[in-house]
Amino acid sequence: MEKGLIVSCQALAHEPLHSSFIMGRMALAAQMAGAVGIRANSVSDITEIQKNVNLPIIGIIKQDYPDRKAYITPTRKELEALLALNIDVIALDATINADENLLRSLKKEFPNQQFMADISTAQEAVRAAEEFGFDFVGTTLTGYTDHSKHLTNFEVLAEVIDRLQVPIVAEGNFDTPEKARRALEAGAYAVVVGGAITRPQLIAKKFVEEMQKANVK
């Protein structure tokens, strides 16, 4: 995977663009714009995206379980489904909420597969890279776990870059071109941008909210 922009093409079941066909076209648009990779969720979306682009794919499966806080590729079931797709990188929750035995087994069982650790703190990043052998570390979950709500994305990014040698992916609220540039300048290998590009309901909402502040008669 090259350095640059990775576009997250995801739409969950309750969202208006929830469709594997649409996600495939989103990925094609991202490729046309110059993206170097795609992050995608679910077997059906990834399969459709593979038909539309020749970019590296970071694959995940989001799955909620009542007895787990981790939801990004949280169990072996989701892992095996992604392994069958022959994608470049598989991302998993690698926070303290995740299954440590699963994380520890990855590179031992599948040494030729690249894995990305979705973390929320620098300590989790160090554990993922140095103990578990992850190939990439992403700041994906910073601010989304109970123990990281007081942290900012740039704060964690800077500390992780300072402490690790593996490629660091800036992900999580790097939602403007300026923030993405700053992340690269800080030393990030790549930047994942999702909703700011691929969720039109969120993009439109920003316009609506700002225009409501207009001082017009």
Asked if residue 215 has pLDDT above 90, the reply is no
Which pLDDT score, from 0 to 100, does residue 191 have? 98
One-letter amino acid at 144 equals Y
For range 193-200, the mean pLDDT: 96
Asked if residue 2 has pLDDT above 90, the reply is no
Which pLDDT score, from 0 to 100, does residue 3 have? 94
Residue 150 in 3-state DSSP?
A: coil
For range 75-86, the mean pLDDT: 98
Query: Which residue, 164, 155, 151, 154, is CA-closest to 117?
Result: 164
Residue 105 within a domain: yes
Asked if residue 217 has pLDDT above 90, the reply is no
Asked if residue 145 has pLDDT above 90, the reply is yes
Q: For 17-34, how does the pLDDT look when each residue is reduced to its tens digit (9 = 90+)?
A: 999 999 999 999 999 999
Q: For 32-59, how does the pLDDT look when each residue is reduced to its tens digit (9 = 90+)?
A: 999 999 999 999 999 999 999 999 999 9
Q: What is the number of domains present in the chain? A: 1
Residue 100 within a domain: yes
Residue 217 within a domain: no
CB 5 within 8 A of CB 35: yes
Both structure tokens of 121: 């703190």
Query: Which residue, 114, 108, 167, is CA-closest to 139?
Result: 167
Domain interval for residue 115: 4-211
One-letter amino acid at 81 equals A
Residue 179 within a domain: yes
Residue 57 within a domain: yes
Residue 70 within a domain: yes
Give the mean pLDDT of the chain: 97
Residue 25 within a domain: yes
Element (H, E) at 193: strand 190-193
| CATH assignment of the domain containing 113 | 3.20.20.70
Q: For 87-110, how does the pLDDT look when each residue is reduced to its tens digit (9 = 90+)?
A: 999 999 999 999 999 999 999 999
Which pLDDT score, from 0 to 100, does residue 14 have? 94
Residue 191 within a domain: yes
